[in-house]
Amino acid sequence: MTVRVRFAPSPTGMFHVGGARSALQNWIYAKQQGGVFVLRIEDTDAARNKPEWTEGILSALDWIGISRGSYEGPYFQSANAGEHRAAATRLYESGRAYYCDCTREDVQARTGSQYQGYDGYHRDLGLGPGPGHALRFRTPDEGTTVVVDLIRGEPTFENKLIEDFVIARGDGSPVFLLANVVDDMTMGITHVIRAEEHLPNTPKQQLLWDALGVKPPVWAHVPVVVNEKRQKLSKRRDKVALEAYRDEGYLAGAMRNYLMLLGWAPSGDREIVPWSVIEDEFRLEEVNPSPAFFDEKKLRAFNGEYIRALPVPEFIDACQPWLTGTGTLAPPPWQPEEFDADAFAAVAPLAQTRIAVLSEIVPNVDFLFLASPLIDEAAWTKTMKDGSADLLDAAVAAFEALESWDAESLKSTLEAVGAERGLKLGKTQAPVRVAVTGRTVGLPLFESLEVLGRERTLTRMRAARLRLV
């Protein structure tokens, strides 16, 4: 039997990091088993679907390494509507489902409670199809439904506690539970690997598989992804869009690595490992069922490690979207003609060790490409104290006299200026850094001054001195 797994997102918004985690787990499992990864777009919610969301899903999958052409699909759930309706009809004709026209208010009036589920009122009344008549599945009165789950063992559900649930609405359109089952049957899905939030629906879906005469798939419900307060990640509250991380400058390799650690870990005391190791060592049955904490600080640290591991030419290439403002990224504060590729290449190794996401490259190097630096006023106020004017005057004079404009000469010269005033280098270089770069932190100062050049450095220092008058 060929293993066939599916990833079935809805095109109703940005691509959730939890969905990306599930996609990767399905992808790896299919590869390990010599199977097939199927992409199905569950687009039946026409009111919320947008074509751009579908394209966003495809692009996000491309980015994390599940590229177009390497999987089966995408299929669209809406194209299978005929099969959904046919399955509903079979269930009705076989006596496994019945029609009901009860409203929520009707049920509440009979049961005296707004919290009690459907009471089975129409089970044996023989109501036929018609406008406003929903189709309900006839859940067995006795016994249990056992869900054999590769991660959670054998969760067991008492059938009497499962209400007769709706499988088709009053207008005849099947609901998610039935459509999902029919699609999986049609596509020959053998393993359903999905988020824990779907587990409560699983006994209902397994009953549908049984009623339609097909053996259910192998189930595996991966842990819910939570924030630092151990709340399920929410689009309304948390940063969950994969595209947002991509556009901020997270590397796909770092994101893949981190997502796979949400509920699982490679052998040994390792977390950052080559993708080939993850593909080889990942075992679905070893996934921890406990909630998985999505720690953005840890992801950021991961990304910094991945950035530092890049060969410098690859790092330079990776920074280009932020340096040029291509695609959906915001343009940098300089004009295209002001950008100096050679100057950037000179400082790239310095910047590579200091940034955690690629978007941070812009504030680290903008001073190189602007006519004058963007002054951080808080940094100016903090740094330009009494004595700064004298120090800048002395530094300008000393730098003007330099025969060799290189980092080592600049450093030793400024050290001497500071020593004459009883200052250590850190205190001495702070006003110079703010004058030249506009900030108190950034790339190593003297290497930066070397690349910026004598004329531009001195011009900025003189301008800062005039501001102190």
The answer to whether 62 and 96 are in contact (CB under 8 A) is: no
Q: Report pTM.
A: 0.91
Token duo for residue 38: 């199927």
pLDDT tens-place string over residues 5-36? 999 998 888 899 999 999 999 999 999 999 99
DSSP labels for 145-211? EE--BTTTB--EEEGGGS---EEE-TTS-B-HHHHHHHHHHHTT--EEEEEGGGGGGHHHHHHHHHH
Task: Classify domain 377-467 by CATH architecture.
Answer: Orthogonal Bundle (1.10)
Residues 6 or more apart whose CB falls under 8 angstroms from that of 313 comprise none
Confidence of residue 328 (pLDDT cuts 50, 70, 90): confident
Residue 135 sits at φ, ψ, to 5 deg, of -100, 125
Instruction: Report the percent of the chain where pLDDT is more than 90.
Output: 87
Confidence of residue 118 (pLDDT cuts 50, 70, 90): confident
pLDDT tens-place string over residues 263-303? 999 998 899 999 999 999 999 999 999 999 999 999 999 99
Alpha carbons 380 and 100: distance in angstroms, whole number: 73
| Average of per-residue pLDDT across 399-413 | 96
What confidence score (pLDDT) does residue 1 get?
A: 85
Kindly list the domain boundaries of the chain, sorted by start residue.
4-75+176-225, 85-168, 377-467
Given CATH 2.60.120.10, say whether it is the number of domain 4-75+176-225. Answer: no
Helix, strand, coil shares of the chain, percent, nearest 5, are 50, 10, 40
pLDDT tens-place string over residues 160-173? 999 999 999 999 99
382 included as an active-site residue = no
Candidates 85, 17, 75; CA nearest to 42 is 75
Alpha carbons 332 and 328: distance in angstroms, whole number: 12
| Average of per-residue pLDDT across 309-338 | 93
| Average of per-residue pLDDT across 202-227 | 97
Confidence of residue 115 (pLDDT cuts 50, 70, 90): low
The answer to whether 390 and 423 are in contact (CB under 8 A) is: no
Query: Which listed residue (50, 160, 235, 424) is catalytic?
Result: 235
Position with higher pLDDT, 110 vs 341: 341
Task: Catalogue the E-assigned strands of 312-357.
Answer: none
The answer to whether 255 and 299 are in contact (CB under 8 A) is: yes
Alpha carbons 200 and 211: distance in angstroms, whole number: 18
What confidence score (pLDDT) does residue 174 get?
A: 93
pLDDT tens-place string over residues 363-380? 999 999 999 999 999 999
Size of the chain, expressed as the number of residues it contains:
469
Residues 6 or more apart whose CB falls under 8 angstroms from that of 317 comprise none
Is the confidence at residue 113, as pLDDT, over 90? no
Range of weakest confidence among 111-115, 128-132, 330-334, 459-463: 111-115
Instruction: Name which CATH class applies to 85-168.
Output: alpha beta
DSSP labels for 90-154? HHHHTTSEEEE---HHHHHHHHS-SSS----TTTTT-----TT-EEEE---SSSEEE--BTTTB-
Is the confidence at residue 139, as pLDDT, over 80? yes
Confidence of residue 326 (pLDDT cuts 50, 70, 90): confident
Residue 290 sits at φ, ψ, to 5 deg, of -70, 155
The answer to whether 185 and 209 are in contact (CB under 8 A) is: yes
Is the confidence at residue 120, as pLDDT, over 90? no
